[in-house]
Amino acid sequence: MSRTLERTLSQHFGFSSFRPHQKEIVAAFLGGRDLFAALPTGGGKSLCYQLPALVRTGLTVVVSPLIALMKDQVDGARENGIAAVLLNSSLSEEDARAAWRQLYRGEARLLYVSPERLAREEFLQRLKELQVSAFAIDEAHCISEWGHEFRRDYRTLHRLRAEFPQVPIAAFTATATEEVQQDVVTQLQLREPLLVRGNFDRPELFYRVERKKKGIDQILEFVQRHPGEAGIVYRATRKATEETAGKLAAAGIAATAYHAGLPDARRAAAQDAFVRDQLQVVVATIAFGMGIDKSNVRWVVHGDLPRSIEGYYQESGRAGRDGDPAEVLLLWGPQDIMTQRFFIERIEDGELRSIAEAQLQQVLRYAEGAVCRRVVLLQHFQQKVDTRGGSGGGDGFDDSRKGCGGCDVCTGEVTLQDATVEARKILSAAVRTGQRFGGHHLVDIVTGTETDRVLELGHHRLPTFGVGMDWPRARWLALIRALEAAGHLQRATAVGGRHGGYSLTATGKAVLAGDVAVRLPVEGPDKPASSRRTVVETTEATALFQRLRELRKELARERGVPPYLVFSDRTLRDIAATRPMDRASLLECHGVGQAKLARYGEAFLKVLVSFPE
């Protein structure tokens, strides 16, 4: 079986080896086992159910969240030589009947459907007439109420176990905490599933955070530094989305807005133009991008604070799916905090309000901290981080910046200020109050604020009362979040996501004793939104690579598919670097399988042979 899998991997996908965890997942799924797989964006989740569908008999049903993306998913499978069909409301009656005929004749290996359609009784009964051999749930985090993109239609998928008791179910997601993972396993009633959690680190992404000073102008400067590179700008409101898109368009950049308030046809047209390389920039609310397969997004900008770390990870992760360098920028300011708190205070359910506040605090830890950005992101997913050299630099405040090398903190772009004395003051306040109070109460103490609670508990008589009156309250709160991000403070977690008081960790005690230094970021003078240039730009400047991109676009237009489905940028770079002169050599390039060789090989070889040295 191992040789069969590797041969199929090469023939249909053009890969010489599996990515981490793929082979284990494929083998388990083929063996009839349920599974939950959390793999990072670009980790090859679709291959984990497409390859088994090629090897096993019967039909694999894929649950996909967005109708607008299904056609691209089906086109992508077909480009790799996999017989795939879709059934959704976008099909005409004639096309739907044709799809059903393929299914009844057993000609399709993959069927893509939405959770809404799968929930219909009539559809389930018709599905039972087919030889269904497996279910694959894409974007499985949508099942969980703890997830950042919860969708109620996904909760109905628990019926699959009752209606198809012998059919294995595989759940896939690019972002899920262990809490979300357990909820998904429970909701889908997975039986002794294989649980796989990949490495959530995205080494190809460079993470940068900047204070918002000129707003839209900063975004424009950033985009202008990435000429011709596809990217996504996320804004918090529809108004900001429209204004930003207008600013970019006025500067001659092919950009458009995308949000839930626009007509369906306009949104569909924007997404289609973007995936087909006819549009450089989409400026969107979080309504855009879930499950997007475009591999050559070179950058993502968040023009406002995201709502959660999990959402930020997935949204920023839409850059660099092909594994080549990409850049991520987050702009934020005090106004963002006020805006989010405005909406949080209007959440009627107390538990949901507490969860939203906790999510805001996590985002602020990321934005304000002096710790390696990767450390904060990976810790959110309960992933162990080697801070001795892999991700982060020791305690996260090391001026030598021996960290990941892929974020503004570790590369020395962030200016730091010594805050050891202030850190010892706040840590002392935590110890003297029994290590059971939250950040706001501790700040009340050090700033000398005589609240009712401070007076009631007698904390105004503590030696630390009023020792920090020279710092503004916001700075103290930022310090507490930074201490938590660095692992010097930890919070107890109560039921429902609420947080208890802060307590000192072993390293926190070392800070208090004066053995470990602490530094905080300070705001510097205005600077360009990005001075970093990626490897991609140098590669894309070559004449051969540009010619191959032009050819790819021509072929994609003829077939009516997005260019990245013909060949990824990574494949074009490999072809440009190795300059294969025959079919056998072209087949050895990354991402070139038998199906694509037969379809596109002659056209590419013609260009390669005639292109001047």
Helix (H, G, I), strand (E, B) or coil at 442: helix
Residues 337 and 240 occupy one common structural domain = yes
Residues 161 and 230 occupy one common structural domain = no
pTM of the model: 0.75
d(CA 591, CA 447): 60
Mean pLDDT for all residues in the chain: 86
β-pairing, 326-332 vs 416-418, is: unpaired
Residues 446 and 366 occupy one common structural domain = no
Q: Write down which residue in 197, 232, 248 finishes a domain.
A: 197
Amino acid found at 370: A
Q: Which helix (H) or strand (E) holds 60?
A: strand 59-63
d(CA 563, CA 17): 24
pLDDT of residue 524: 53
Q: CA angle at residue 449 from 475 to 442, to 5 degrees?
A: 55
Query: In Å, what is the CA distance from 61 to each residue of 39, 69, 183, 247, 480?
Result: 20, 16, 22, 43, 48
If the chain, 613 residues long, is cut into consecutive pieces of 10 residues, what is the mean pLDDT of each piece? 84 88 94 93 86 94 83 87 90 92 94 90 93 94 75 86 95 86 94 92 93 90 94 94 96 94 86 90 77 82 92 90 91 85 85 83 84 88 60 38 80 87 95 92 95 94 94 89 83 55 92 89 56 44 84 92 89 90 92 92 93 80
Query: Is 55 a member of any domain?
Result: yes
Where does 297-365 show beta strands of DSSP type E? 299-302, 326-332
Number of domains observed in the structure of the chain: 4
Helix (H, G, I), strand (E, B) or coil at 448: coil
d(CA 141, CA 164): 22
Amino acid found at 147: G
d(CA 250, CA 234): 18
Query: In Å, what is the CA distance from 213 to each residue of 21, 216, 356?
Result: 43, 9, 26
Contact 565, 79 (CB under 8 A): yes
Contact 55, 29 (CB under 8 A): no
Query: Is 404 a member of any domain?
Result: no
d(CA 34, CA 591): 29
pLDDT of residue 499: 55
CATH number, domain of 506, equals: 1.10.10.10
- Closest C-alpha among 605, 535, 602, 606 to residue 569: 535
pLDDT tens-place string over residues 519-543 = 888 765 544 444 444 444 444 447 8
Query: Is 335 a member of any domain?
Result: yes
- Closest C-alpha among 363, 451, 374, 447 to residue 409: 374
Residues 134 and 232 occupy one common structural domain = no
pLDDT of residue 27: 94
Beta-carbon contacts of 261 under 8 Å, excluding residues fewer than 6 positions away, are: 238
pLDDT tens-place string over residues 124-152 = 999 999 999 999 999 898 888 666 677 77
CATH number, domain of 568, equals: 1.10.150.80
Residues 48 and 183 occupy one common structural domain = yes
Contact 183, 40 (CB under 8 A): no
Q: Integer distance in angstroms from the first to the last C-alpha of the chain?
A: 43
Domain of 553 in residue numbering reads as 542-610
CA 125 to chain centre: 36
Contact 505, 489 (CB under 8 A): yes
